[in-house]
Structure 1
């Protein structure tokens, strides 16, 4: 990038733009691509027509990111370049609510997972307003919606995010939903699985070849029974503060680690590691 006043102005914004794109997309690689595309668009723009460069660039990054999110949502499976963050697995000893909340607050997976479960418009409205203080009228213009509609989208997203903050008693209730889901998977009770899954549930699986995402209750429920048949033993755990489970094969080797996001009595996201190499590197408790 040549050292021109425009390039220098862009560079002064790069870190913030990368942060916006990463929060919107959850992928460092995708965020870099979006920021680079924003630079290309700026280089073709008559800068005399830009009154507020920071605002203009934020809008461009947001619109490109929104297109990426909508494209992902339209596909049943996508392969992401980034790996999932490291999991911290602890035994689920029925922590007191305040201890549970401290554990959840100490890691970032809960927020990451719930952001991934939001609809593209909800995620954009929440991230831009609550995390980067972009006014709702500007968010509305990006989305092609009214200011009030943008506020409503952010409010809906905020409720889902706050549902991960674990008010008193919520930890036990979420564990019960997860246990009911696992029991239904073992029984092959498809209708019960659909009842427990949010219609737009997102399953993210870390495999040896990359991160695969499956969208929708029907597809997630259809894959739950075969996965249950593969495992001989399982144990309830906390995964970065979220209710989860470790499953082992008959020979005692770990088969998977799963973390569940439960909102208002339904599972909205499942994050799973099934990569044997990654499982082998994790500090996992053994089967009982």
Structure 2
């Protein structure tokens, strides 16, 4: 015998997963949030729910908000979800649209928002949830929620925000590669933003370096340890893959470029993570 509540939930699952993903930037976390929402629904007296779709959105929003707030003290990067593709020039229109909506470029911008701002922006601007319902999740008035969304919108649309890979971004990455190969410390300092953040996935765990003077000495590409380097897109952002002389992948790097300077770098140097990624062949 069919369960009408389960059927409604399954009909809403894709939308709920999309809400959670845009809040959290991780498919795995989004799945966990949706599953938790289902568990809460099974414990709820459904006769008291007048709008099941709205109730589920509220629950997913609240759970995602809790996850975001916990991340402020335990930040994380979902390395296994990186999508690496060959960079053959301009990004195809459909790929650019995907990157703009769910890729690292937008997620980098959303990370600059506080949890409440992010919730207000995602739910209202991306999923058209009314401000009064968002206000109930946040425990704020409708007016205060509108102000949060407006502030978030200004930050997202502000000039100088990171974009997907374009000609200027690629040129900055190529200049970085040349300086890194030559060990040109001064040129690296010009290319890196003074407050650049480098996050590295290593076999021993995540390592974070802050500031150009700390990052520059750690990005030299020794010719003896690198067989080849290939330009790629990493979730829509300009990036590179480097290989060892024996043909095994050495690292994957993704770059966030703002105003012709690198403001953020993500480096995957953990062989276990690299083995899970679908990487192009060495050139």
- TM-score in same-fold range (> 0.5): yes
* Deviation readout 1:68-113 (Å, 9 max, x if unpaired): 123223225x374x7224311236xxx5xxxx24368358456421
Match of residue 226 from structure 1: 218
Counterparts of 1:104-253 in structure 2, within 5 Å, are 105=95, 108-109=98-99, 111-117=102-108, 118-119=110-111, 121=115, 122-143=117-138, 144=140, 145-159=144-158, 163-164=162-163, 171-179=166-174, 181=176, 183=179, 186-187=183-184, 192=189, 196=193, 201=197, 203=199, 205=201, 218=210, 222=214, 225-228=217-220, 232=224, 233=226, 235=229, 237-239=231-233, 242-249=237-244, 253=248
TM-score by structure 2 length? 0.70
Gaps of 5+ in 1: none
Counterparts of 1:45-124 in structure 2, within 5 Å, are 45-76=44-75, 78=76, 80=78, 83-90=80-87, 95=89, 100-102=90-92, 105=95, 108-109=98-99, 111-117=102-108, 118-119=110-111, 121=115, 122-124=117-119
Distance (whole Å) between structure 2 residues aligned to residue 39 and residue 279 of structure 1: 30
User: SS in structure 2 opposite 1:164?
Assistant: coil
Distance (whole Å) between structure 2 residues aligned to residue 280 and residue 32 of structure 1: 20
Match of residue 274 from structure 1: 269
Alignment root-mean-square deviation, CA: 4.2
* Deviation readout 1:31-50 (Å, 9 max, x if unpaired): 22212221233334344443
Gaps of 5+ in 2: none
Shift in Å at residue 66 of structure 1? 1.9
Shift in Å at residue 60 of structure 1? 1.1
Q: 1:85 to 1:109 in 2, by over 3 A?
A: farther
Contact 2:191 2:262 survives alignment (8 Å): no
User: SS in structure 1 opposite 2:83?
Assistant: coil
Distance (whole Å) between structure 1 residues aligned to residue 198 and residue 41 of structure 2: 34
Match of residue 256 from structure 1: 251
Contact 1:59 1:142 survives alignment (8 Å): yes
* Number of equivalenced pairs: 267
